[in-house]
């Protein structure tokens, strides 16, 4: 009976704020390990400003540890039975306020990251149509509509993000092959820039090498894997790393040239404007 009373007292109203904080810390850490919150958090970090500061705090393991310790301290020192002690009536309000602020941040920041990821993905997919009112053989039919968008290049912010975030994954991306479409020097230039940035992040890559396209509908930046529907974990982390720098990629099947290589980062041609 004594043990039962102690168990019931553990979940008394006085102790609930502390228990809620401790469970929130444990739940957030489990969600970070088992869910996709890491990629959402990194995307928010890449946006800069105050949201990035909050996202950095949430991604730290000390945030979860701090919540657990504060929750335990509340249960032990504040939520003890009132017998022989006088507790300030504002303590429960303080505890629940801290819980509400942390829970709001945990919900809003990943949601913001998910929305930003969706927007970036849709922007990457969007290609302007090219209306044609005359014969394609006419020299002026496409004078105002270039075949491709401008050359790709890594901005300084993208390089900073890839270096700082890539340093955390360098052990999982050792020996990353980077290839480019063998007839596209613009793709070669972009692939070389990515290689230099990855090397600065201690991600050892192979020499940038040419490869054939494989299929006519392949364009953009691709991660070649054996099964595009079930990419290996390190390929998923590579995709997430690139997304933090606003570089969209897609998984495609490896061509025969690299059938014995687990993963290849292939810089394909830019999409033709007016086609998807």
- Which whole-number Å values give the CA distances from 176 to 82, 248, 252, 257, 266, in the listed order? 62, 18, 16, 15, 11
Segment among 120-124, 200-204, 227-231, 241-245 with least mean pLDDT: 120-124
Give per-residue pLDDT as tens, 157-184: 899 889 988 888 888 898 899 999 999 9
Residues 109 and 102: their CA atoms lie apart, in Å, by 11
Asked if residue 69 lies in contact with residue 63, where contact means CB atoms within 8 angstroms, the answer is no
Q: Is it the case that residue 266 has pLDDT exceeding 90?
A: yes
Sequence spans of domains, the chain: 2-125, 156-267
Return the higher-pLDDT residue of 18 and 189.
Answer: 189
Residue 242 pLDDT greater than 60, yes or no: yes
H or E element at residue 10: helix 2-10
pLDDT exceeds cutoff 90 at 190 = yes
Do residues 58 and 38 make contact, with C-beta atoms less than 8 angstroms apart?
no
Residue 87, pLDDT above cutoff 70:
no
Higher pLDDT, 35 or 229: 229
pLDDT tens digit string along 98-155? 888 888 988 888 888 888 877 776 665 554 344 444 555 555 655 556 777 778 889 8
pLDDT recorded at residue 77: 72
Maximal C-alpha separation, the chain: 95
Is the domain spanning 156-267 CATH 1.10.3470? The answer is no
pTM of the model: 0.59
């Amino acid at each position: 009976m004594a043990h039962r009373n102690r168990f019931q007292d553990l979940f008394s109203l006085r102790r609930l704020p502390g228990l809620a904080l401790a469970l929130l810390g444990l739940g957030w850490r489990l969600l970070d390990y088992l869910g996709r919150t890491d990629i959402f958090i990194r995307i928010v970090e890449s946006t800069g400003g105050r949201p990035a500061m909050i996202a950095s705090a949430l991604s730290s393991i000390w945030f979860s540890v701090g919540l657990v310790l504060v929750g335990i301290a509340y249960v032990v020192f504040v939520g003890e039975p009132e017998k022989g002690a006088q507790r300030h009536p504002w303590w429960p309000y303080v505890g629940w306020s801290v819980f509400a602020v942390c829970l709001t941040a945990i919900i809003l920041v990943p949601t913001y990251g998910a929305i930003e990821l969706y927007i970036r993905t849709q922007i990457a997919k969007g290609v302007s149509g090219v209306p044609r009112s005359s014969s394609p053989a006419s020299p002026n039919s496409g004078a105002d509509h270039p075949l491709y968008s401008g050359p790709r290049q890594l901005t300084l912010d993208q390089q900073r993000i890839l270096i700082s975030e890539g340093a955390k994954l360098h052990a999982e991306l050792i020996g990353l092959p980077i290839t480019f479409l063998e007839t596209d020097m613009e793709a070669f230039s972009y692939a070389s820039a990515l290689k230099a940035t990855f090397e600065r992040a201690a991600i050892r890559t192979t020499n940038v090498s040419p490869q054939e396209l494989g299929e006519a509908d392949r364009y953009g930046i691709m991660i070649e894997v054996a099964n595009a529907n079930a990419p290996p974990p390190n390929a998923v982390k590579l995709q997430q790393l690139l997304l933090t720098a606003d570089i969209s990629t897609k998984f495609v099947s490896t061509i025969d040239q690299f059938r014995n290589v687990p993963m290849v980062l292939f810089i394909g041609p830019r999409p033709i404007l007016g086609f998807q």
